[in-house]
């Protein structure tokens, strides 16, 4: 536990601290860019972007070795991965634009073919220089173990730069993500903004390769916005929550894996994200599962209350358990099921309201009013007192419910 | 030469072909229904399923693992549906949440548990080990008639062959409902088809194909075969029947050409070692799709065949 606190306070070594900071920035950047992709309903394009980096990594390694350099130079590998994911993006766009295949097929095709080709290149590398290939596999699942100082700096700086770019471009990207037609009609270049968005996704992916790995980086782009979506209906807040979720997961995840080196960084970060998502799914105030269940229960009780009162007014026996307990709780019936004074009064009112509704729906046959009749809405909420008085004049004086 | 081929290459080649066909068949419908990425999601969640069933049974026996993988696939599909409905989240994003999280869980479990004694790791899960499925007992082509040698065939071959047959039967039996509900779900509903059930059955078939193929060849071929051959076939024709045949042809071609290119290509080029067959098969299927995108007679949206040199 101490090790974890040390790591959380950035005290477990300079590299670990730098990695934790880098992971935080990366998480924030990924969460915010992911928000745009999520709103644009193109979340899974980032999966293809991520998988398409693999052949670039492989080719960059091979080229650097052939040129006599060190194949593991992170900057070189990242440039390679950026180029190949760019090619992948271009191909997706080309397939969707030029053929009749849907975007999901294009995504899946690019993803699997690039990844497959990347695997071929990895086996080539394995055979071509047996000792030196170590490290490339770590791009699949990410690893902070044995990360060089330079690598940590690249990740941290990359995260900050990506974050700055997102901040600068947030207005046009929000507009395009939210309503592309509106953006186009107000003079924004939608295509260019989309490209910028994808460029940022690519940047985040490439920076996150070493840390989270190319299979799981997509989680950092998707889960935080989905988590945020449970808490808010506003784009700017969604971005903040998504960025916060991603940043927190990155920070805690990197610290955890610094404290317990056996825990792989990428999966830990992703599972932390998922934990926050699961909590949101259950507990969010409007869209959460718990809130939905409560809403359903409240509605159920209102229906039973109303139907119970009408049954009392018509002198029908009540058998339904829930109805009985609802009425009993409000003191409207006694334990033996006979209506109390208050119960009879309420029941008379309910029945009278029902009659009023009938008349009201005859008078106002327009849709708007009739549509509001659901057996639960109070007539006082819909009609004015004058109108109710007019209806009452037609149906005569109130009638009591016999005891 | 021939004995070497039978011993080393015949079974991997057959397994590759069966796996490719088993995946490409349901893939046709997935591509048309815009559910192509279901295959992607399922093949990711197979890993946690296998790991959990290994931790429960403590052995690397095939059937428990396949059951575990199938359960994981169904759990994932259920979760995706749940998140989509409860949170009103678009399906792509819901899918992204579920499969990445489950995959991460699988990797974490794998790293934490002691699997050093058994052959179970992430790389294996991703790109399988097609090359190792060799037929030791075979001498040459005559072994095909030798019962003793035949019984020593890798069990993966029988499993994937059975699954390929089952998938074929599934599609033949449900051909009409599948076809109608894929092209016009509203009409299918109107004439009383249980389209939801049908969709679920398709996903189950997909999961079975994915799990069986995964067992033999790894996740990456599975994803490629779900999408690339059917997508390429889609660009060749407007008739579903013809499309299915094209997709089977493309899948078989990818498996054969990819396997041969991986096993013998580097040798012809003067290198000493073969490259990953799984990766190569996926690459070849991509090249086929690329060719179809450029030259397929029905590649454009208007679906009228283009005059040559047009566009």
Please indicate whether, in this complex, the C-beta atoms of B280 and A264 are within 8 angstroms of each other.
no
Do A106 and A121 have their domain in common? yes
Do A127 and A65 have their domain in common? yes
Domain that includes residue B257, residue range = 2-32+117-126+150-295
**Domain presence at residue A51:** yes
Do A235 and A338 have their domain in common? no
Instruction: Identify the domain boundary among A284, A314, A342.
Output: A284
Domain that includes residue A316, residue range = 290-395
| B residues 176-235 closer than 8 Å to A (CB) | 220-221, 223-224, 226-228, 231, 234-235
**Domain presence at residue B68:** no
Arithmetic mean of pLDDT over chain B:
84
Q: Does B283 touch chain A (CB under 8 A)?
A: yes
Instruction: Identify the domain boundary among A284, A305, A340.
Output: A284
**Domain presence at residue A298:** yes
pLDDT of B125 above 80: no
Do A211 and A251 have their domain in common? yes
Residue A149's pLDDT band, with cuts at 50, 70 and 90, is confident
Please indicate whether, in this complex, the C-beta atoms of A119 and B286 are within 8 angstroms of each other.
no
Do A391 and A257 have their domain in common? no
Q: How many helices (H) and strands (E) are present in chain B, helices listed first?
A: 14, 0
Do A70 and A100 have their domain in common? yes
Higher pLDDT, A260 or A218: A218
Structural domains in chain B (count): 1
**Domain presence at residue B291:** yes
Do A305 and A255 have their domain in common? no
Secondary structure of residue B270 in the 3-state scheme: coil
**Domain presence at residue B108:** no
**Domain presence at residue A402:** no
Instruction: Identify the domain boundary among A268, A284, A300.
Output: A284
Q: CA–CA separation, A40 vs A36, rounded Å?
A: 6
Higher pLDDT, A93 or A13: A93
What is residue A14's predicted lDDT score, i.e. its pLDDT?
Answer: 75
**Domain presence at residue B244:** yes
Chain A residue numbers touching B279 (CB-CB < 8 A): 115-120, 122-123
Do A164 and A271 have their domain in common? yes
Instruction: Read off the pLDDT of residues B179-216 as tens digits, 9 standing for 90 and up.
Output: 999 988 889 889 988 888 898 899 888 888 888 887 77
**Domain presence at residue B76:** no
Task: Report which DSSP code applies to B303.
Answer: -
Task: Report which DSSP code applies to B305.
Answer: P
Do A81 and A97 have their domain in common? yes
Task: Report which DSSP code applies to B10.
Answer: I
Percent of chain B with pLDDT over 90: 33
Do A371 and A275 have their domain in common? no
Q: CA–CA separation, B214 vs B221, rounded Å?
A: 8
| B residues 123-162 closer than 8 Å to A (CB) | 123, 126-127
What is residue A222's predicted lDDT score, i.e. its pLDDT?
Answer: 94
Chain A residue with Cα closest to B40: A108
Query: A208-230: b or e for each residue (b if 16 or more CB lie within 10 Å)?
Result: bbbbbbbbbbbbbbbbbbbbbbb
B126: Cα separation from own chain's centroid = 12
Half-sphere exposure at residue B299, Cβ-oriented, CA atoms within 13 angstroms: 21
Please indicate whether, in this complex, the C-beta atoms of A119 and B298 are within 8 angstroms of each other.
no
> Residues A191, A247: contact at Cβ < 8 Å?
no
Q: CA distances (Å), B310 to each of A40, B238, B295, B303, B307, in order?
A: 33, 20, 11, 14, 5
Q: To 10 degrees, the CA torsion angle through B27, B32, B33, B39?
A: 20
Chain A residue numbers touching B220 (CB-CB < 8 A): 112, 115-116, 119
Structural domains in chain A (count): 2
Do A340 and A276 have their domain in common? no
Secondary structure of residue A99 in the 3-state scheme: coil
Task: Report which DSSP code applies to B7.
Answer: I
Q: CA–CA separation, A161 vs A206, rounded Å?
A: 13
**Domain presence at residue A72:** yes
**Measured between CA atoms, how close is A395 to chain B, in angstroms?**
45
pLDDT of B309 above 70: no
Do A126 and A43 have their domain in common? yes
């Amino acid at each position: 536990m101490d090790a974890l606190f040390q790591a959380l306070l950035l005290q477990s070594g300079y590299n670990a601290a730098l990695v934790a900071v880098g992971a935080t920035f990366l998480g924030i950047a990924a969460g915010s860019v992911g928000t745009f992709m999520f709103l644009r309903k193109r979340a899974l394009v980032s999966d293809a972007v991520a998988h398409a980096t693999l052949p670039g990594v492989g080719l960059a390694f091979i080229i650097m070795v052939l040129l006599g350099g060190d194949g593991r130079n992170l900057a070189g590998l990242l440039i390679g991965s950026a180029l190949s994911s760019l090619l992948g993006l271009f191909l997706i766009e080309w397939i969707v634009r030029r053929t009749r295949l849907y975007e999901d097929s294009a995504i899946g095709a690019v993803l699997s073919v690039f990844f497959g080709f990347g695997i071929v290149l990895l086996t080539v590398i394995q055979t071509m220089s047996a000792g030196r290939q170590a490290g490339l596999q770590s791009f699949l699942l990410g690893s902070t173990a044995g990360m060089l100082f330079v690598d940590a700096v690249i990740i941290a700086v990359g995260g900050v730069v990506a974050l700055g770019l997102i901040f600068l471009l947030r207005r046009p990207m929000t507009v395009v993500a939210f309503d592309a037609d509106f953006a186009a009609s107000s003079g924004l270049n939608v295509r260019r903004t989309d490209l910028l968005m994808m460029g940022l996704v690519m940047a985040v992916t490439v920076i996150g390769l070493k840390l989270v790995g190319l299979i799981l980086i997509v989680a950092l782009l998707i889960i935080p916005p989905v988590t945020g979506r449970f808490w808010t209906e506003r784009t700017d807040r969604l971005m903040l929550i998504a960025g916060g979720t991603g940043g927190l997961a990155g920070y805690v995840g990197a610290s955890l894996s610094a404290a317990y080196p056996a825990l792989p960084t990428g999966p830990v970060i992703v599972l932390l994200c998922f934990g926050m998502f699961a909590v949101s799914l259950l507990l969010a105030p409007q869209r959460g599962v718990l809130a939905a269940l409560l809403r359903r229960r409240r509605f159920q009780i209102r229906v039973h209350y109303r139907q119970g009162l009408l049954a009392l007014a018509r002198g029908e026996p009540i058998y339904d358990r829930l109805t009985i307990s609802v009425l009993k709780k409000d003191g409207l019936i006694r334990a033996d099921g006979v209506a109390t004074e208050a119960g009879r009064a309420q029941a008379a009112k309910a029945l009278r309201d029902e009659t009023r509704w009938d008349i009201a729906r005859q008078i106002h046959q327009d849709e708007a009013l009739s549509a509001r009749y659901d057996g639960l809405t109070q007539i006082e909420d819909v009609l004015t007192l004058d109108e109710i008085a007019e209806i009452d004049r037609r149906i005569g004086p109130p009638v009591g419910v016999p005891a | 030469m021939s004995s070497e081929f039978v011993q080393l290459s015949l079974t991997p080649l057959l397994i590759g072909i069966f796996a490719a066909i088993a995946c490409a068949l349901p893939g046709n419908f997935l591509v048309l229904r815009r559910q192509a990425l279901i295959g992607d999601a399922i093949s990711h969640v197979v890993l946690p399923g296998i790991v959990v069933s290994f931790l429960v049974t403590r052995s690397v026996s095939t059937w428990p693992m396949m059951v575990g993988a199938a359960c994981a696939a169904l759990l994932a599909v259920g979760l995706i549906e749940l998140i989509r409905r409860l949170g009103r989240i678009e399906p792509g994003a819901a899918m992204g949440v579920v499969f990445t999280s489950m995959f991460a869980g699988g990797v974490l479990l794998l790293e934490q548990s002691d699997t050093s004694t058994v052959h179970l790791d992430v790389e294996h899960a991703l790109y399988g080990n097609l090359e190792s499925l060799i037929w030791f007992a075979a001498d040459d082509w005559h072994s095909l008639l030798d019962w003793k040698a035949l019984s020593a065939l890798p069990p993966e071959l029988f499993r994937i062959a059975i699954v390929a047959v089952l998938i074929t039967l599934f599609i033949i039996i449900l051909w009409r409902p599948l076809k109608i509900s894929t092209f016009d779900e509203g009409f299918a509903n109107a004439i009383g088809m249980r389209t939801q059930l049908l969709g679920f059955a398709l996903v189950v078939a997909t999961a079975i194909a994915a799990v069986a193929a995964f067992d033999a060849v790894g996740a990456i071929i599975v994803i490629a075969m779900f999408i690339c051959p059917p997508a390429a076939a889609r660009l060749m024709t407007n008739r579903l029947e013809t499309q299915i045949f094209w997709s089977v042809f493309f899948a078989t071609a990818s498996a054969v050409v990819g396997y041969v290119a991986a096993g013998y290509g580097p040798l012809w080029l003067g290198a000493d070692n073969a490259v990953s067959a799984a990766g190569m098969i996926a690459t070849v299927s991509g090249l086929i799709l690329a060719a179809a995108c450029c030259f397929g007679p029905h590649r454009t949206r208007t679906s009228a065949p283009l005059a040559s040199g047009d566009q």
